[in-house]
């Protein structure tokens, strides 16, 4: 299914290769070329959208490990992202540590906080876990808003741009390359993680935790590992967001963002590598389309209600999530698989 | 001491309303095992609808409030029929996510129709404050508590004696057996959603007659209702009625006394802290069925 007809694997290395055929390599190289030359033909506006997409992909990829692979629902991912953002801002801005320390520190601290709030997952699941992570989201944001000696008035903080050694990444183009690099590393890491013992243990826990335990998967360790890895990615994404937007406030990490992250993995496809990418791109482009179109619509139809511009985006997101759940619960990733299969066997689809 | 009495009375009455809204959650959970995370948004949209009827259209309460209830019935039916029924038998993740999608949808819808950030219902209850001992209480609090108690009593009678109430409890107990007895399970689901929405709408009207109608506090009411159900036990009506006042008291007393000791706004996170504590100590809540499930 995943290989075209007539391609056989003769060695273990061939069997394990992610990019197997010449076509794979061709498309990979073409995609990378397009991405790395993007600053030359994207305008600044689209480049900033691309940056946001990249950051969100990192966060959602983390959520996908936790929810998609390990089956532990987390509706507080924006909260964990906030932990990362503020950790990095404090480490770099207040303690004058290098950016790379801030980035990794953000990931590690977000992961540790994730472990703390993931503890109840050892006793509860499903709805209980969902509520626990919602509580985590609100407690984290509340602490950030009120711990003003560390986070500044109302949690609003200025953040210095990212830098490596003496090189300061000030322009949007350099930020784009930074985010692109980390996104590629993240996706590659998750793709491989999913094929290791850890990834397979996660899937076993998702599908049947009792059976997994009987087969020797240590639930305690693996669930907390999933929380750590998922929140580590969120922390990295938060740190990137902080250093590229130069100022952070708790408003960047709202509860509705957490819901939207869940929506993104559902739209993309749970438990697939490509799912988070497709889901994030889909939602962000929809968002952009709505922002571009709604003033025009408002002008064209003056009878529209005055709240149309602000309300239409959340309404559409909600609708898209519900429709995907009802009509295509396996997400865009499954559609993409179907398309590839149809393309390979064309014109003899049987 | 004067403040303590004040806190107790307002806390218990607020808690009653939370308990009422939480009852809607328990109802759906018991009959169809769906966790309705859009509860706060249903409270929100029906409060705004009440505003539309009573303030914008200027209808008198005897006409406006029944219209709100009809609206809530329709809302419950539509939600169940078009989003939950196609998902029967799907994993719990999908069921939770679909209510989250609904939550998003309703917030957007409210934003489109009522772009104002703040509004208030015309006064439904007498306005003079009541003096109880040393405390001065707004009458709305007492009315809210009384109405919540009366509704709770009516609902318990309904579940005890009415035919469809008994059918609902039976569905909660064993869906297969109920179907074998010729009771259409899907209709029961539909009814429980309609009931839950009506309860949420009444709760919304009570809450917004105490305070104002604005987005954040009403959505938070839903979150408070979650802490009520977690504390009381997901499948227990009595648990709701006991846990509601506890959460309400924790909010007013904790908010009143702890604010001086800690940061401002401690009130907002108390329900969530309670959730975390309950999760660690006693995940099935005070009155919930103690299911032995190894994880």
**In terms of DSSP bridges, do strands A157-158 and B135-137 run parallel, antiparallel, or are they unpaired?**
unpaired
Report yes or no on A244 lying in a domain. yes
Q: Which residue of chain B has the CA closest to A218?
A: B295
Q: Between B35, B107, B276, which is nearest A130 by CB?
A: B35
CA distance A339 to chain B (A): 24
- Chain B residues with CB under 8 Å of A213 CB are 294
* Residue from the list A136, A259, A310 with its beta carbon closest to the beta carbon of B111: A310
A contacts of B267 (beta carbons < 8 Å): none
Mean pLDDT of B89-118: 88
* Residue B223 at interface with chain A, using a CB cutoff of 8 Å: yes
Q: Which pLDDT band holds residue B174 (cuts at 50, 70, 90)? A: confident
Q: Report if residue A40 sits inside a domain.
A: no
CA distance A336 to A267: 12
Interface pTM, i.e. ipTM: 0.89
Q: Is residue A272 part of a domain?
A: yes
Which residues of B are less than 8 Å from A311 in CB distance? 107-113, 115
Structural domain contains residue A27: no
Q: Determine, yes or no, domain membership for A146.
A: yes
Closest CA to B194 of B66, B103, B69, B59: B69
The average pLDDT across B28-37 equals 86
- The secondary structure of chain B as a DSSP string is -HHHHHHHHHHHHHHHHHHHHHHHHHHHHHHH----TTHHHHHHHHHHHHHIIIIIS---HHHHHHHHHHHHHHHHHHHIIIIIGGGTTS-HHHHHHHHHHHHHHHHHHHHHH---S-B-PPP-S--S-EEETTEEE-HHHHHHHHHHHHHHHHHHHHHHHSHHHHHHHHHHH-HHHHHHTT--HHHHHHHHHHHHHHHHHHHHHHHHHHS-B-HHHHHHHHHHHHHHHHHH-TT-HHHHHHHHHHHHHHHHHHHHHHHHHS-TTHHHHHHHHHHHHHHHH-TTTTTS-------
Q: How near does any CA of chain B get to the CA of A180, in Å? A: 30
Q: Is residue A35 part of a domain?
A: no
Contact A326 B98 (CB under 8 A): yes
Render each residue's pLDDT in chain A as its tens digit; 350 residues. 567 777 888 888 888 888 888 888 999 999 999 999 888 888 888 999 999 999 999 999 999 999 999 989 899 999 999 999 999 999 998 888 889 999 999 999 999 999 999 888 887 777 888 889 999 999 999 999 888 888 878 778 888 888 887 788 888 888 999 999 999 999 999 999 999 999 999 999 999 888 999 999 999 899 999 999 999 999 999 999 999 988 899 989 998 899 999 999 999 999 898 999 999 999 999 999 988 888 788 777 776 677 777 788 889 999 999 999 999 989 999 999 888 888 887 777 66
Residue B278 touches partner A, C-beta closer than 8 Å: no
Contact A315 B101 (CB under 8 A): no
Which chain B residue lies closest to A309 (C-alpha atoms)? B112
The count of domains in chain A is 1
**CA-based nearest distance A87→chain B, Å:** 20
Per-residue pLDDT for B24 more than 80?
A: yes
B38 interface with A at CB cutoff 8 Å: no
Q: pTM here?
A: 0.91
Answer whether residue B295 shows pLDDT above 50: no
The answer, yes or no, to whether residue B164 has pLDDT greater than 80, is yes
Query: What pLDDT is recorded for position B291?
Result: 65
Residues from chain A that touch B34, judged by Cβ atoms under 8 A, are none
Mutate to test the interface with B, among A67, A123, A265, A297 (most CBs of B within 10 A): A123
Cβ of residue B83 closer than 8 Å to a chain A Cβ: yes
**Residue A13, in any domain of the structure:** no
Residue B200 has pLDDT above 50, yes or no: yes
Least confident range from A62-76, A225-239, B110-124, B192-206: namely B110-124
**Where residue A130 sits, what CATH number does that domain have?**
1.10.3470
The model's pLDDT over B227-283, given as tens digits with 9 standing for 90+, comes to: 999 898 887 888 888 999 999 998 888 887 877 776 777 778 888 988 888 888 888
Residue A69's domain spans which residues?
45-345
- pLDDT, averaged across chain B: 86
Residue B138 predicted with pLDDT over 70: yes
- Best residue of B94, B103, B111 to probe chain A, by most A CBs closer than 10 Å: B111
Asked if the structure places residue A20 within a domain, the reply is no
């Amino acid at each position: 299914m995943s290989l075209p007809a007539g391609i056989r694997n003769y060695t273990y290395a061939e069997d394990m290769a992610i990019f197997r055929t010449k076509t794979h390599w061709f498309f990979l190289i073409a995609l990378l070329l397009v991405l790395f030359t993007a600053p030359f033909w994207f305008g600044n506006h689209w480049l900033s959208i691309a940056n946001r997409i990249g950051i969100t992909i990192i966060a959602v990829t983390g959520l996908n490990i936790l929810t998609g692979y390990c089956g532990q629902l987390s509706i507080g991912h924006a909260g964990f992202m906030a932990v990362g953002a503020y950790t990095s801002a404090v480490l770099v801005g207040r303690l004058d540590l290098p950016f790379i320390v801030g980035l990794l520190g953000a990931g590690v601290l977000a992961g540790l906080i994730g472990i703390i709030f993931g503890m109840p997952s050892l006793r509860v699941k499903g709805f209980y876990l969902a509520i626990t992570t919602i509580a985590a989201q609100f407690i984290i944001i509340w602490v950030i808003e009120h711990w003003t000696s560390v986070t500044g008035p109302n949690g609003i903080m200025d953040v210095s741009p990212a830098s490596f050694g003496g090189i300061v990444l000030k322009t949007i183009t350099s930020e784009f390359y930074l985010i692109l690099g980390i996104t590629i590393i993240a996706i590659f890491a998750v793709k491989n993680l999913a094929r290791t013992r850890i990834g397979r243990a996660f899937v076993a826990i998702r599908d049947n935790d009792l059976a997994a335990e009987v087969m020797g998967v240590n639930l305690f360790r693996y669930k907390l590992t999933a929380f750590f890895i998922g929140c580590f990615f969120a922390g990295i994404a938060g740190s990137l967001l902080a250093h590229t937007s130069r100022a952070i406030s708790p408003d960047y990490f709202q509860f509705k963002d957490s819901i939207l992250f869940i929506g993104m993995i559902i739209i993309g496809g749970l438990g697939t590598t490509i799912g988070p990418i497709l889901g994030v791109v889909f939602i962000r482009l929809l968002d952009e389309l709505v922002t571009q179109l709604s003033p025009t619509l408002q002008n064209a139809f003056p009878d529209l209600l005055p709240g149309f511009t602000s309300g239409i985006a959340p309404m559409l997101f909600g609708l898209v999530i519900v429709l995907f759940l009802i009509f295509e619960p396996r997400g865009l990733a499954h559609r993409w698989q179907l398309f590839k299969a149809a393309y390979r066997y064309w014109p003899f689809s049987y | 001491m004067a403040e303590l009495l004040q806190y107790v009375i307002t806390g218990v009455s607020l808690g009653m309303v939370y308990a009422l809204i939480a009852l809607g959650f328990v109802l759906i959970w018991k009959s169809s095992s769906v966790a309705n995370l859009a509860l706060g948004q249903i409270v929100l949209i029906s409060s705004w609808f009440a505003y539309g009827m009573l303030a914008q259209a200027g209808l008198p309460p005897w006409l406006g409030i029944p219209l709100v209830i009809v609206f809530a019935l329709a809302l419950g039916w539509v939600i169940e029929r078009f989003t939950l029924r196609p998902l029967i038998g799907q994993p719990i993740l999908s069921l939770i996510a679909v209510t989250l999608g609904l939550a998003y949808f309703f917030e957007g819808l409210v934003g489109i129709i009522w772009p104002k950030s703040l509004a208030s219902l015309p006064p439904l209850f007498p306005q003079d404050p009541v003096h109880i001992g040393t405390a001065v209480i707004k009458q709305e609090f007492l009315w809210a508590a009384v109405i919540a108690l009366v509704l709770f009593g009516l609902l318990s009678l309904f579940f005890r004696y009415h035919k469809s109430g008994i059918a609902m409890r039976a569905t909660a107990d064993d869906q297969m057996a109920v179907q074998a007895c010729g009771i259409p399970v899907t209709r029961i689901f539909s009814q429980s959603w309609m009931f839950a929405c009506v309860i949420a709408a009444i709760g919304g009207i009570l809450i917004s007659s105490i305070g104002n109608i604005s987005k954040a506090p009403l959505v938070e009411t839903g979150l408070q209702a979650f802490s009520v159900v977690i504390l009381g036990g997901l499948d227990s009506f009595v648990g709701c009625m006991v846990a509601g006042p506890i959460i309400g008291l924790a909010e007013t007393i904790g908010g009143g006394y702890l604010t001086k000791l800690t940061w401002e706004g401690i009130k907002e996170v108390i329900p969530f802290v309670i959730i975390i504590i309950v999760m660690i100590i006693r995940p099935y809540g005070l009155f919930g069925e103690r299911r032995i499930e190894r994880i």
